[in-house]
Amino acid sequence: MKSWKKIAVISMVVFAVALPGAASAEESMMAGYDYTKVNTIMKDGMELVPLREIAESLGYQVIWGDENRSITINDKKDMMMDDSMKDKTMDGMMEKGHSWMLQIGSTSMKDGEAEVMLEVAPMIVNDMTYVPKEVVDQHLLQPMMMK
């Protein structure tokens, strides 16, 4: 009878440890982006995705800098506050969200103040900017999951 109790206790411990991991893995899967709805391309074995289309669908503002072929992505918090919000902040200053800056042909990307290296530089194909899928997964989706 004692061995049956040991098995029951061990089983409960295993389930208690495994269940939270399974739940967080499921949450991570749900938080991903459905890339089947966008046209992707392959470059040097890496999947590239259309940046503006995905960023805007996630609620980000995308700004093209023609003079230096740069792309700035702003969190929607980067906007002027209306009068009803001014008294809740210092002097009605602009509430600052997060931003990213990329440049066509450069493997360096600014994530806020941090410099991030990309495996493949952003490129223009058919008048659309494509970036490695990891840029979306690691930089645009993660801040959304923290909100």
Is the domain of 89 the same as that of 135? Answer: yes
Supply the range of the domain harboring residue 6: 1-30
Mean pLDDT of 55-74: 95
User: Contact, 64 vs 71, CB < 8 A?
Assistant: yes
Range of lowest pLDDT (16-20, 42-46, 54-58): 16-20
Residue 81 has pLDDT above 70, yes or no: no
Q: What does the pLDDT look like over 84-99, one tens digit per residue?
A: 444 444 444 445 678 9
Both tokens of 85, joined, read 């919000």
Is the domain of 64 the same as that of 9? Answer: no
Is the domain of 85 the same as that of 52? Answer: yes
Q: How far apart, in whole angstroms, are the C-alpha atoms of residue 8 and residue 75?
A: 50
Mean pLDDT of 121-134: 95
Dihedrals φ, ψ of 130, to 5°? -115, 140
Q: How far apart, in whole angstroms, are the C-alpha atoms of residue 120 and residue 118?
A: 5
Residue 23 has pLDDT above 80, yes or no: no
Q: How far apart, in whole angstroms, are the C-alpha atoms of residue 77 and residue 4?
A: 57
Cα of 55 vs its chain's centroid, Å: 9
Beginning with the edge strand found earlier in the chain, give each strand of the sheet holding 114-117 in spatial order: 61-65, 70-74, 99-103, 108-111, 114-117
pTM (two decimals):
0.66
Both tokens of 142, joined, read 């993660």
Q: How far apart, in whole angstroms, are the C-alpha atoms of residue 122 and residue 65?
A: 14
Query: What is the per-residue pLDDT for 121?
Result: 95
- 25 by Cβ neighbours in 10 Å (0-12 / 13-18 / 19+) ranks as exposed
Is the domain of 24 the same as that of 66? Answer: no
Q: What is the CATH classification number for the domain harbouring 131?
A: 3.30.457.10
Q: What does the pLDDT look like over 100-117, one tens digit per residue?
A: 999 999 999 999 899 999
Is the domain of 95 the same as that of 46? Answer: yes
Q: What does the pLDDT look like over 24-37, one tens digit per residue?
A: 444 443 457 899 99
Cα of 95 vs its chain's centroid, Å: 20
Closest residue by Cα to residue 137 from 128, 129, 145: 145
Is the domain of 71 the same as that of 90? Answer: yes
Number of domains in the chain: 2
Going by pLDDT thresholds of 50, 70 and 90, the confidence category of residue 16 is low
DSSP secondary-structure letter at 59? T
Query: What is the per-residue pLDDT for 92?
Result: 43
